[in-house]
Structure 1
Amino acid sequence: MTRHGKNCTAGAVYTYHEKKKDTAASGYGTQSIRLGKDAIKDFDCCCLSLQPCQTPVVTPDGFLYEKQAILEYILHQKTDIAKKMKAYEKQKQAQKNDSQLESKSEEREKVEKFKTRENSIVSKPINPFTSGQNRVGEKIRMDSSSSSSAPSCSGPVASSSKSLPSFWIPSLTPEAKPTLLKKPDRYVCAVTKDVLGNSIPCAVLRPSGSVVTQECVEKLIKMDMTDPVSGDKLSDKDIIPLQRGGTGFAAAGVELKAKEARPVMQV
């Protein structure tokens, strides 16, 4: 358990910080953390690529996706499955070859054991006068071969360093002119032209695919249940609330807490 501070040795209060620290160190219980702004996507970003959508599509639950990202994800999954299947077939063939090699090696070991047993029955006499001379000759030949194969270090060492070529950056030349900035595009409501953002609840109209604010839906569209862009009749299913992001301090349409369930200590 975490020790109290030097000036609080007599205190019986178990602080929240000490409790969190002990929980993290013990490895038991559910650990939760509040997400920051960087961990939450904006309302106009794809749920797969987390980048602003160019060709957006929305699910019935209000989750926004990039059409190209969906196709790339499906293609990536097919390619990944094909790679895994190929690797599995290769592993299966390797296991089959290993089993065949093991069976052959077992047979070879049996043959070698049989040969050693047969050779050990009849022993050849050893001449003590010639065996020592052969060993000395082998040692001399080994010493001479090792001395002749030693590499020489007298030659110079070649350097393989290469210098990077110099180049010019067009935007830093004296003749370069500052580029003209364009007015940034902003998402607005298709009816009221109000600026859209993470702090404004939005909805998608299914017939026309237009994005409007929830305030416009409540005050204008639900009065006659007609799409103001296409003129089609709307039902409750045709108005899809768009899932939006938020900040780490304000609630929105997403879960702002991440939880990790760990084993529970039982008495």
Structure 2
Amino acid sequence: MTRHGKNCTAGAVYTYHEKKKDTAASGYGTQNIRLSRDAVKDFDCCCLSLQPCHDPVVTPDGFLYEREAILEYILHQKREIARQIKAYEKQRGAKREEQKQLQRAAAQDQVRGFLEKEGSIVSRPLNPFTSKAATGTVPEDAQAGSSAEAPGKDKDKDKDKEKALPSFWIPSLTPEAKATKLEKPSRTVTCPMSGKPLRMSDLTPVRFTLLDDSVDRVGLITRSERYVCAVTRDSLSNATPCAVLRPSGAVVTLECVEKLIRKDMVDPVSGQQLTERDIIVLQRGGTGFAGSGVKLQAEKSRPVMQA
């Protein structure tokens, strides 16, 4: 039996390898790729700066931030909201003033039309012995009909003017783009990750327990395992579900919460009573494996060729 080439195209079957190769080369079809461990954020890194936190705080939804980064974001969002509200109020005031001007112009046109109609009336002495045809008076209906024809002609002229294309060489006739209608902005500051309302009072300080107290901050960044559970001393990583206790800010594993803390609902670090709201599950990144519960598949949708 003869040996076939590796890229033989004489086969009757369009293989999966050939299909993927043609898809990547043609630029059509949706491409999928699995993210590596380098594309996943560590559990102790800020969601904004993506760097290990020096002064970490956590939101009620479990997203970890550097205090300086999240406060700067909140202030920036408040300034942006104030700017949008100012632009919205300015547009509303201009629109209100434009409506007032249109109302004044309509009232002036109505008064002008009334004065013109009053000035066109000619008073003549009535002779009871002569008919209307002899005196040359015209019925009011005919006058109304003749006066009604004038606005119609003006409308036709206006339509003809609108159909005429404006000139791009004369500045006064150059068309202009109308201002976009602004919607009323919301005054609520939202979390950059969850999109829920966020206040400064909702931020809870987090205190990680160091694995080795003798290691400085630069040495911590280069190590893969930096922190441990405040109760069981188990190492913390993306593969370990963690929780933050609100009264003390200590970080413990969920296993410790289920087996030890939920029995008495007492913070083992500060000794204060706990509620369900005081146990904040910390959001963590993936581990590079399918069992992490995080979507690690990236998709890029491109045009599809249909037969």
Length-normalised TM-score, structure 1:
0.53
Alignment of 1:89-238 (within 5 A): 102-103=171-172, 183-184=215-216, 186-238=226-278
Aligned 8 A contact 1:201 1:213 in 2? yes
Give the structure 1 partner of residue 279 of structure 2. Answer: 239
Aligned 8 A contact 2:286 2:292 in 1? yes
- Alpha-carbon deviation of 1:213? 0.9
Give the structure 1 partner of residue 32 of structure 2. Answer: 32
Alpha carbons of 1:189 and 1:12: their partners in 2 closer, same or farther (altered >3 Å)?
same
- Alpha-carbon deviation of 1:203? 1.1
Aligned 8 A contact 2:239 2:287 in 1? no
Which amino acid letter does the alignment assign opposite residue 243 of structure 1?
Q
Alpha carbons of 1:215 and 1:52: their partners in 2 closer, same or farther (altered >3 Å)?
same
Gaps of 5+ in 1: 87-98, 106-181
Deviations 1:141-184 (A, max 9, x none): xxxxxxxxxxxxxxxxxxxxxxxxxxxxxxxxxxxxxxxxx535
Which amino acid letter does the alignment assign opposite residue 227 of structure 2?
Y
Percent of aligned pairs with the same amino acid: 73
Which amino acid letter does the alignment assign opposite residue 66 of structure 2?
E
Alignment of 1:243-254 (within 5 A): 243-249=283-289, 251-254=291-294
Give the structure 2 partner of residue 54 of structure 1. Answer: 54
**For residues 257 and 104 of structure 1, what CA distance do their matches in structure 2 show?**
55
Alpha carbons of 1:50 and 1:251: their partners in 2 closer, same or farther (altered >3 Å)?
farther
Gaps of 5+ in 2: 88-167, 175-213, 221-225
| Structure 1 vs Structure 2 CA RMSD | 3.6
Alpha carbons of 1:80 and 1:203: their partners in 2 closer, same or farther (altered >3 Å)?
same
**For residues 66 and 193 of structure 1, what CA distance do their matches in structure 2 show?**
24
- Alpha-carbon deviation of 1:77? 5.1
Which amino acid letter does the alignment assign opposite residue 31 of structure 2?
Q
**For residues 37 and 51 of structure 1, what CA distance do their matches in structure 2 show?**
16
**For residues 80 and 256 of structure 2, what CA distance do their matches in structure 1 show?**
45
Alpha carbons of 1:235 and 1:74: their partners in 2 closer, same or farther (altered >3 Å)?
closer
Number of aligned positions between the proteins:
176
SS at match of 1:207: coil
**For residues 30 and 78 of structure 2, what CA distance do their matches in structure 1 show?**
36
